[in-house]
Amino acid sequence: DSGVTQTPKHLITATGQRVTLRCSPRSGDLSVYWYQQSLDQGLQFLIQYYNGEERAKGNILERFSAQQFPDLHSELNLSSLELGDSALYFCASSAWGGPSSNSPLHFGNGTRLTVT
C-alpha cells in the first residue's frame, strides 16, 4: 500500500458531463501530481501542486482543472467530457517540491473513468 488514496475507483458518465476525482496524499507529503494513463499515450503528466500552490503544468486540457486544499488533499475536475477522456487517472505524492531519491513519487491505485 503506497499510502496514496484515490476515490472513486471507477466512474462511468456521459459525454458533456463533469466529474471530480479526489486524492489524499501520503501522510506528510506536500506535493500532489496528477497523471493520465491511456493505452496509446502511456503515463501523461497533467499537473503538480506543492503545499497548495500550482508547481508545474503538463498537457492538461483547458476543460480540466485541479486544486490542492489546506489539508493537502487534491481534486481533479474534468468537464465537458468527451469519449477520448476515458482513461485511468492517477494521483501521486512526494514529500517535497520535486521527485528525487529523497522524495520519490508514490502512486495511488487510480480512478478508472469511462465516458459513454
Partner 1 sequence: GENVEQHPSTLSVQEGDSAVIKCTYSDSASNYFPWYKQELGKGPQLIIDIRSNVGEKKDQRIAVTLNKTAKHFSLHITETQPEDSAVYFCAAFTSYGKLTFGQGTILTVHP
**C-beta closer to partner 1: residue 45 or 79:** 45
109 binds partner 1 (CB under 8 A): yes
25 binds partner 1 (CB under 8 A): no
3-state SS, 67-116, equals: EECCCCCEEEEECCCCHHHCEEEEEEEECCCCCECCECCEECCCEEEEEC
Which residues in 49-108 contact partner 1 (CB under 8 A)?
A: 56, 58, 90, 92, 98-101, 104-108
How many residues at the interface with partner 1, by CB under 8 A? 22
Among 33, 49, 50, 64, binds partner 1 (CB under 8 A): 33
